[in-house]
Amino acid sequence: MGSLKAVLKHPDDFFPLLKLKMAANKAEKQIPSEPHWAFSYSMLHKVSRNFALVIQQLNPQLRDAVCIFYLVLRALDTVEDDTSIAADIKVPILIAFHQHIYNRDWHFACGTKEYKVLMDQFHHVSTAFLELKRGYQEAIEDITMRMGAGMAKFICKEVETVDDYDEYCHYVAGLVGIGLSKLFHSSGTEILFSDSISNSMGLFLQKTNIIRDYLEDINEIPKSRMFWPREIWSTYVNKLEDLKYEENSEMALQCLNNMVTNALIHIEDCLKYMSQLKDPAIFRFCAIPQIMAIGTLALCYNNIEVFRGVVKLRRGLTAKVIDRTRTMADVYQAFSDFSDMIKSKVDMHDPSAQTTITRLEAAQKICKDSSTLSNRKSYIFKRESGYCPALLALLFIILAILYAYLSAN
């Protein structure tokens, strides 16, 4: 749960954090008993705790399919991300990965921590995959094949242009959006969305991650991972790693703001996609990551900390997003609020400023035209607490005791 200091600073985070913790505990208790399914769901909780929570709300067949789809792609991503693997070994594995998922005996040693465990015991994932409906298997195989081929292409090719950037993001995330749309359709609850609009759902999330993870990727050992397109960063510095040096701070912020502005172009498609979802569980599954993405972009925009350390939503705000995202009105409100946050940070002397404002106002117009925005207080913007820290600490202790009691029973 969030740190005591963060909760004292944002006391209204406590109950959403408490609910999130209890939901996580409940989800962990619902892990199936069969060894391959137990491994798959346990691993899902380890590699993406928040994602595991929203998956649990899907209907059982779709939940199993999405769980395995996610783990297969995480395994594929683990191979791609491991910079210690030589290209002549990595490329054939990526290209053939869609065949390995049918082999109960296949595994490959790579990755670190929980990802190493996933790769070492991948046979559990393959066993679970083979129990899915044929329609789900075909969708997962198709996306894995296309993604593996795309990843292999960019092992030997750098991201030079913005078109390259869009193509790379399509392979590693847009295809995920397309695959999920196919799984949703196969479940019988949703229409089959076009590849274009499904692709945008993935690109918005992936571009957010690439922006946020600049420092981690550039400092990767033994070799940097460079996904920011040269067409953008070369306008500001001679080498991509130069953005992290203090003497280049002004240029770094301008480059960062250009990258965020590039990501904003996908908002219209994302809002359109989510507004057409019918199943409430699928809607929350899609909407929560999208809100967290626009929130992360709002934190990253014009923020030099992207080049100095880790920038991410505080745990309490994440808990609020998970707790309060129920309807499309909630999505419109969150996107409008986070767009306001970015607008408040725009320096009109920034070279991308006018384009940034134009894209934000286009997104806000969609939200406003929905006629769902309310005058309620936003949970997104900071509000100073009027409570005494000592009283808050006492409240925290009492609620912690209550939580322990409820958990025990």
Active site residue ranges: 168, 212, 225, 285
Dihedral pair phi/psi, residue 10, rounded to 5°? -130, 75
CB 119 within 8 A of CB 78: yes
d(C-alpha 251, C-alpha 135), whole Å? 49
Q: b/e string for 204-241 if b means 16 or more Cβ within 10 A? A: bbbbbebbbbbbebbeeeeeeebbbbbebbeebbeebb
Alpha helices in 156-194 (DSSP H): 162-169, 175-186
Q: Kindly report the number of other CB atoms within 10 A of residue 202's CB atom.
A: 24
d(C-alpha 387, C-alpha 371), whole Å? 35
For the chain, percent helix, then strand, then coil, each to nearest 5? 70, 0, 30
Angle at 407 between CA 29 and CA 113, to 5 degrees: 50
CA-based nearest residue to 57, from 273, 293, 327, 283? 283
Burial (Cβ within 10 Å: 0-12, 13-18, ≥19) of residue 374: exposed
Residue 195 tokens, joined = 């590849």
CA-based nearest residue to 120, from 108, 105, 130? 108
Instruction: Give me the sign of the Cα torsion angle 223, 89, 118, 21.
Output: positive
CB 125 within 8 A of CB 106: no
